[in-house]
Amino acid sequence: MGDATPQVLIPELAELVKSRQLPLHRLIKRYRIKDLNQAMHDMQSGVTLKPVIVY
């Protein structure tokens, strides 16, 4: 881990997202700032892997 070359890895990840082989939309969920506690709960309970706070 940690030995990836960003110039190679980022385009590869972008292609995986574009080809729908890496479903980022299933890994993140957006929350309003007022729902911060719910975001933390959802992350801890496995509802989402990456809560994104939008304000």
pLDDT surpasses 80 at 2 = no
pLDDT given at position 24: 86
pLDDT given at position 41: 97
pLDDT given at position 1: 60
Residues constituting the chain: 55
Q: Is the dihedral of CA 34, 36, 53, 22 positive or negative?
A: negative
Q: Rg (Cα) of the chain, in Å, rounded?
A: 14
Q: Is the dihedral of CA 50, 36, 54, 30 positive or negative?
A: positive
Query: In this structure, are residues 51 and 40 in contact, taking their beta carbons and an 8 Å threshold?
Result: yes
pLDDT in tens, 12-42: 999 999 999 998 888 899 999 999 999 999 9
